Amino acid sequence: MENFLSLINVAAVKEVAVTDYVSFTFFIGCMAMMAASAFFFLSMNSFDSKWRTSILVSGLITFIAAVHYWYMRDYYLETNSSPTFFRYVDWILTVPLMCVEFYLILKAAGATKSMMWRLIFLSTIMLVTGYFGEAVYPAQAQIWGLISGIAYFVVVYDIWIGGAAKLAAAAGGSVEKAHKTLCWFVLVGWAIYPIGYMVGTGEGQWYSFLDGAADMDVIYNIGDAINKIGFGLVVYQLAAESK
């Protein structure tokens, strides 16, 4: 029992300064992800079976984030530095699941697995190159950020104009509406992340004027709460509308 407690309580008992907004957003983000997971999992069976997998994936996204936030929150309290490793492990699992959501809601309209894999592939390139720039080759952050940004724009293209957009238009009704809302999340909500990246990796790069302008982790934490919970709620709304 004592071992178990020391395992889960590494740093949570430390005193947190009231002005420590990074810790604040880690704690509140952690709790929000847990609450959202409970909400999605518990509501799952009240929907028609054709929506259950989508709601399940919504819950998995926030649940995976909740677990990583649990660690990141402690890591930050202990070390006062960015939990970059946990951050990217979280993203590499949750972002592809968000691509799966696009596939799931468009499946009835004829979405193919290859469309899904293409989005997963592109988002993986986006995250792996972002990790290189942030953690492995920070002196070349601008180059890695550019490659990552290109992959991001191809994702935006695919869902707004490419194959996924055409399927959504063909599906019409509440599916098309939900797809459009998710598209806005990717265009605007996901754009929060490159801002965090530039603020955190600006040293010696063309965007050095942004270096330290805000706290990278606060920006990422806000982005995660908006995007992960927001995405899930769009899917929830779709399921509730077309029960």
Please tell me the count of residues contacting ligand RET according to CB under 6 A. 17
Per rule CB under 6 A, is residue 202 in the interface with ligand RET?
no
Per rule CB under 6 A, is residue 66 in the interface with ligand RET?
no
Q: With the C-alpha atoms ordered 197, 77, 124, 187, is the resulting torsion angle positive or negative?
A: negative
Closer of 103 and 193 to ligand RET (Cβ): 193
Provide the terminal-to-terminal Cα distance of the chain, rounded to the nearest Å. 45
**Piece of the chain touching ligand RET by CB under 6 A; list 22-30, 146-154, 169-177, 208-216:** 146-154
Q: Which residues, in sequence order, are CB contacts of 78 under 8 Å at separation 6+? A: 10, 11, 14
Closer of 165 and 196 to ligand RET (Cβ): 196
Closer of 55 and 216 to ligand RET (Cβ): 216
Note whether 133 and 150 are within 8 A (CB). Answer: no
Among positions 107, 118, 179, 228, the unique one binding ligand RET when judged by CB under 6 A: 228
Can you tell me the distance from the alpha carbon of 23 to that of 72, in angstroms, rounded to the nearest whole number?
9
Among positions 66, 95, 218, 235, the unique one binding ligand RET when judged by CB under 6 A: 95
Calculate the alpha carbon distances from 85 to 14, 46, 80, 144, 162 in Å: 22, 37, 14, 17, 33
Binding site for ligand RET (CB under 6 A): 91, 94-95, 126-127, 130, 145, 148-149, 152, 190, 193-194, 197, 224, 227-228
